[in-house]
Structure 1
Amino acid sequence: MGYRAMTRNRTAAPLPAALPGGRLETDGVAGRLSCYATIPAPDDRDHDPRPLLLLHSINAAGSAYEMRPLYEYYRKYRPVYAPDLPGFGMSERSDRRYGPRLMTDAVHAVVEQIQARHGAAPIDAIALSLSCEFLARAAVETPGSFRVLGLISPTGFDQRTPEGGPPGGTRGRPLLYQTLTVPPWRHGLFELLSSRASIRYFLEKTWGSKNIDEGLLEYDYLTTHQPGASFAPYRFVSGFLFSTDILNLYRRLAMPVWMVHGDRGDFVDYQKKTEIADRPNWHIEELPTGALPHFEIPARVIASYDAFSRAAVTAD
């Protein structure tokens, strides 16, 4: 059986919704996008009418489930949107060139959809890990679309990040991609990466602890066993979703930026955050967690973000 045939048939079980609420779909330059959405009752006296966009990270098992603690909290108080990015979850998983341009176009598409429903006022957005790079690029390209940016465990501040990479460049390694995707073993390799044991191993490295979220593990297993599940992850593993110009993009952000990261686990290299630490529009906070602090200490993360947002709005 050929790889494409095996990919079409690769299903552990139908993929359930990652989040409660409705689900919107749009089809455009970024392909078919699925976005979870919840809008609280307008007569709620605590209702904040400004929409909040939540962007999950990119990895072998990415999905909107990664933003679940924030989604479940904020959906009680304001319109919240959480898309599955291209190649993940309920969105299109076709075999194509997954990279920063495609992901940034997806962010633009979702923002346009949100503003079509709520008006053209700037929205707030929080991204996780690698998707912080796509959010930053989108905010540089359309700064009028965003009021406050939130970055949780953002990539692009580690010692390997180039100081002045070419605009639009990536860290992609074509030879690695070709090696990983040779037909005889590309299916078997992804089967290994997406086993429950492997997913648990990587989540424990992300948490820096064995005390992971079991619901996330189970959803990760289901979403990695859907047709087309390996296409985007192989591009990710080969470096094609990491931008070489990301430090320049972070420096160009003019709106208020809230950033938090943990001090535990495998993702704690933020040596180059000194590049932007002294900028008055940035707030950077280190937390006693792994790379998913909103799962470990959601109340503290939410309180920090809300306090920063209120102060930023008051300052304006």
Structure 2
Amino acid sequence: MSVTNSETLDTTKARQGHARSSLANPVGGTRTDIATKVGRLATYSLGFTASEETTRPLLLVHSINAAGSAFEIKTLYDHYAKHRPVHAVDLPGFGQSDRDDREYTARMMTDAVHAAIARVQDVHGSQPIDVIALSLSCEFAARAATEKPESFHTLGLISPTGFEGKARDERAPTTRGQSWLLGTLRFKLWDEGFFKLLTARPVIRKFLEKAWGSKQIDESMLDYDYHTTHQPGARYAPYYFVAGFMFSKDILNIYESLRLPVWMALGTRGDFVDYRHKSRVAGRSNWTIVKFEAGALMHFEVLDQVVKSYDQFLAVSAPNDTPVATA
């Protein structure tokens, strides 16, 4: 991994290097582009610098959908930057990271999480860090934690996938990818046109309403989602997502194998409330499961409740950590 571009950003100013001229960065702070085996990743940092560090760094990982980006964790990023070093990443195919026409799989996304953690440790030292992931990215973060447990202090899962529907508890690390479906989506006659329909403002709004379980969505997220889905190469990664290549068939076994402290936050509204298999981990001493009267992106609706719960989890599950003050 190497750093290819680093700059302190004002999103109202023109950006240099790899920045996309029509797309602002999803979060503020310093953006650093890193060259990794899964391509160029845009990472962001805010809060205490390495020389001022007084608390453990936190890495935030956005979800996967047609419009994914670090904007999805912006409220947490802005909140924790007041109290501790905080970092975020745009995963491959999203935001300001590379959007090349290539295969996007669960393995690639897991490797991207590893690369983002390595970047944080380059800045703050080789200490284990706290990681919070959202939705499908919870699967990638959990797998990364089983592969390199020494890099993780705690793991936070917000609206995690993998507990819904038919149990995904196979032993082999395969995905639900359907090549025929990917081929259909990528058929040249409708490849670009279909994605334009999928990412029209009314369609994005409807998706967000389903995630919120309410029509009271975050309008700034709608705006950013629209702009990020209208960048060159924006359709490549989402098509692999829709075709199932980022969903792991063994994820319940991965969740069960976690030994570090895990905080799992669930919403009660919207289309993403199926956690029928959470009994596989509920009651385990290292798992803390909490519910919020909100949708899947509860940190945009009830941020104060979410951070209070997470901070309490850190205080109880990781008592040797430096206390994190909250507003």
Rounded Cα–Cα distance in structure 1 between residues aligned with 2:50 and 2:187: 53
Q: Percent of pairs identical after alignment?
A: 54
1:193 maps to which of 183, 195, 198: 198
1:96 maps to which of 80, 97, 102: 102
Q: Show the counterpart of 2:87.
A: 81
1:267 partner SS: coil
Is 1:112 the equivalent of 2:118? yes
Question: 1:11-60 deviations in whole A, cap 9, x for unaligned?
Answer: x970001111010111121100001111326798xx64311000000000
What is the root-mean-square deviation of aligned Cα atoms in Å? 1.6
Relative to structure 1, is the Cα distance of residues 176 and 142 closer, same or farther in structure 2, using a 3 angstrom cutoff? same
Q: Show the counterpart of 2:174.
A: 169
Q: Show the counterpart of 2:281.
A: 276
Q: Show the counterpart of 1:217.
A: 222
Rounded Cα–Cα distance in structure 2 between residues aligned with 1:307 and 1:131: 23
Letter in 2 for 1:124: D
CA contact (8 A) 2:171 2:253 kept: no
2:162 partner SS: coil
Q: Show the counterpart of 1:27.
A: 35
Relative to structure 1, is the Cα distance of residues 283 and 59 closer, same or farther in structure 2, using a 3 angstrom cutoff? same
Rounded Cα–Cα distance in structure 2 between residues aligned with 1:161 and 1:132: 16
Question: 1:235-287 deviations in whole A, cap 9, x for unaligned?
Answer: 00111100001001101111000001111110010000000002100001121
In structure 1, the gaps of 5 or more residues are 1-11
- 1:160 shift after superposition: 2.3
Is 1:71 the equivalent of 2:77? yes
Say which structure is richer in helix. Answer: 1
Q: Show the counterpart of 1:157.
A: 163
2:313 maps to which of 286, 294, 308: 308
Letter in 1 for 2:166: R
CA contact (8 A) 2:69 2:90 kept: yes
- 1:116 shift after superposition: 1.4
Rounded Cα–Cα distance in structure 2 between residues aligned with 1:315 and 1:104: 28
- 1:124 shift after superposition: 0.2
- 1:315 shift after superposition: 7.3
Relative to structure 1, is the Cα distance of residues 101 and 41 closer, same or farther in structure 2, using a 3 angstrom cutoff? closer
Rounded Cα–Cα distance in structure 1 between residues aligned with 2:134 and 2:310: 14
Question: 1:279-305 deviations in whole A, cap 9, x for unaligned?
Answer: 100001121111000000000000000
CA contact (8 A) 2:50 2:124 kept: no
Q: Show the counterpart of 1:4.
A: none
Is 1:180 the equivalent of 2:152? no
2:136 maps to which of 112, 130, 140: 130
Rounded Cα–Cα distance in structure 1 between residues aligned with 2:51 and 2:256: 40
Structure 2 length as normaliser, TM-score? 0.90
Question: 1:112-164 deviations in whole A, cap 9, x for unaligned?
Answer: 1111111111000000000000000000000010011100000000022323x
In structure 2, the gaps of 5 or more residues are 1-19, 322-327
CA contact (8 A) 2:50 2:123 kept: no
Relative to structure 1, is the Cα distance of residues 77 and 43 closer, same or farther in structure 2, using a 3 angstrom cutoff? farther
The residue correspondences of 1:6-85 to structure 2 (distance < 5 A) are 14-40=22-48, 48-85=54-91
Letter in 1 for 2:146: V
Q: Relative contact order (C-alpha < 8 Å, sep 6+): which is higher? A: 1
Letter in 1 for 2:86: V
CA contact (8 A) 1:132 1:152 kept: yes
Rounded Cα–Cα distance in structure 2 between residues aligned with 1:55 and 1:122: 16
The number of residues matched between the two structures is 302
1:289 partner SS: coil
CA contact (8 A) 1:13 1:222 kept: no
1:295 maps to which of 278, 287, 300: 300
